[in-house]
Amino acid sequence: MQTNLSEASRTHARADEAEAILRACVHCGFCNATCPTYQVLGNELDGPRGRIYLIKQLLEGEPCGTRTQQHLDRCLTCRNCETTCPSGVRYHTLLDIGRAEAEKHARRPARERLLRAGLRHVVPRPATFAALLKAGRALRPLLPGTLRGKIPAAPPAAGTRPP
């Protein structure tokens, strides 16, 4: 893929790495065949090839808004796309670079920033997560319906699978 990084992007510590990854992509679309978000949503911008284009545009100086952030956020980072890419594109690395750049250009609302920071601190800590989930279960009857539906009433029995 031909690239023309903006002067601002060229100052990024990983600019050369991003440019090399962008140039490796040949737009074949094999990646979309194994991407779960593309399979479910069917939107080119919700597949790896579309996100690569969005990151390329961002690094070339195009404005970044909530639309770009939303498409980048929808990636599960499962790396299925990398298993089918005949060019060996390191999509996960490019996505990390693109997400970091998008965060610089499109500021999220304070509520969303706070929620994301909280999740980054809670989810990787099983004891903290379990304690908060237990408290959520105890308070479940008092919560609004939309939030109540997101907290399971009881832990699943050992050995069972979700429906």
153-162 pLDDT, tens digit each: 777 777 776 6
Is the pLDDT assigned to residue 149 strictly greater than 90?
A: no
* DSSP assigned state of 159: T
Please tell me whether residues 77 and 143 are part of one structural domain. no
H or E stretch covering 34: none
CATH number, domain with residue 38:
1.10.1060.10
Give phi and psi for 14, each to the nearest 5. -110, 25
Residue 157 domain flag:
no
Q: Which two tokens stand for residue 17?
A: 């790495």
In this prediction the pTM is 0.78
Please tell me whether residues 70 and 139 are part of one structural domain. no
Place of tokens 């008092």: 142
Tell which residue, 138, 162, 160, 136, has the closest CA to residue 150: 136
Number of domains observed in the structure of the chain:
2
Residue 163 domain flag:
no
Please tell me whether residues 51 and 95 are part of one structural domain. yes
Is the pLDDT assigned to residue 112 strictly greater than 80?
A: yes
